Amino acid sequence: MQVPRNWRLQKQRYSLIGEVCEHCGVKLFPPRDVCPECSHGAQTLYQFTGMGNIHSFSQVFDPPNGHIENTPFIVALIQLEEGPMVTAQLTDIDIEHVEIGMEVEMVTRKMSDDGTEGMIIYGYKFRPPIVD
C-alpha cells in the first residue's frame, strides 16, 4: 500500500475539495492547478456541494486489487452540479435502481484497504439523497 500517495490526496478524497479558476470561474475536480479552459493558474481551493447526477454507470465483476471483497460494486460518472465530471463508486443502492440522470449525493466511505492489517483508504462515493 502506497501510504504517502494516498495520504497526499486525503483532502480531495474525503471531502470533494477541488479548485476554482479565479480568472474564468470554472470549477475543477480533480484539482489540476492550471485551468484547462483559459490556461491561467487555478489553485484556489473550492468545496463542492457533493450533489450531482449520474452520467453513466457500470457494475464491476472483475475487480482490481483492494476492491475484491466489495465485488460486485457499481462505478459511475457523476456530473457535479458545479460542472465537473467525477468518477466514483455508488453505494447504498442496488444496480436495478440505478439510472442515467438520477440525482446522487457524495458520502465518504471505505474505498479500499490493504488486507485486515493494512491501511484503510477512505474517499468519496455517491448515493441517492437520504431526503428528496
Partner 1 sequence: MTIDNREPDLQAMKPDIPVGIVGYGAYIPRYRLPAEDIAKLWVGPSNRVPVTEKSVAGIDEDVVTMSIEAARNVLARADVNPIDIGAVWVGSESHPYAVKPTSTIVAEAIGAVPNTQAADWQFACKAGTEAIQASTGFVGSGMTKYALAIGMDTAQGRPGDALEYTAGAGGAAFLLGTAEESVATIEGSFSFVTDTPDFWRRQNAKYPQHSKRFTGEPAYFKHIAECAEQLMHALGTKPTDYAYAIFHQPNSKFPQQVAKVLGFTTEQIATGLLAADVGNVYAGSALLGLTAVLDVAQTGDRILLVSFGSGAGSDAFDLSVNDRLSLCQTLAPTTKDYIERRTVIDYATYARYRGKLALI
Partner 2 sequence: MTGSTNIYVSGTGCTKVGEHWGTSLRHLAWEAVNLALLSSNTKKPDAIFVGNMLSSSLSQQLNVGALVADFCGFRGTEAITVEAAGASGAAALRQAILAIRSGEINTALVVGVEKMTDAVGPDVTTAIAGGADSDWELAHGLTAPAIAALIMRRYMYEHSVPTDGLSGFSVNAHKNASTNSYAMFRNLISNEQYSRGAMVSSPVNVFDSAPDADGAAALVITSSDRELVEGRSIQIAASNLTTDSLAIHDREDLLTFSAAQTSARYAYDQAGIDANDIDVAEIYDRFGVYAAMSLEACGFADWGSGWEMAQNGSVGLQGSLPISTFGGLKARGNPGGATGVYQIVEIAQQLAGTAKDNQVSDVKWALAQCLGSNGGTAVTHILNVVG
Residues that bind partner 1 (CB under 8 A): 10-11, 14-15, 69-70, 89, 91-92, 94, 107-111, 120, 122, 125, 130-131
φ/ψ region of 34 (left if φ > 0, alpha if ψ in -120 to 50, else beta) reads beta
Cα dihedral angle (90, 94, 99, 102), rounded to 10 degrees? -60
- Given the complex with partner 1, which of 3 and 100 has the nearer CB atom? 3
Using CB distances below 5 to 8 A depending on partner kind, what does residue 58 bind out of partner 1, partner 2, none? partner 2
Three cell numbers, residue 37: 479552459
Coil vs helix vs strand at 95:
helix
Give contact residues for partner 2 (rule: CB under 8 A). Answer: 5-6, 9, 30, 36, 55-68, 70, 73, 75-77, 84-89, 95, 100, 111-112, 121, 123
Helix (H) or strand (E) holding 42: none
Using CB distances below 5 to 8 A depending on partner kind, what does residue 69 bind out of partner 2, partner 1, none? partner 1
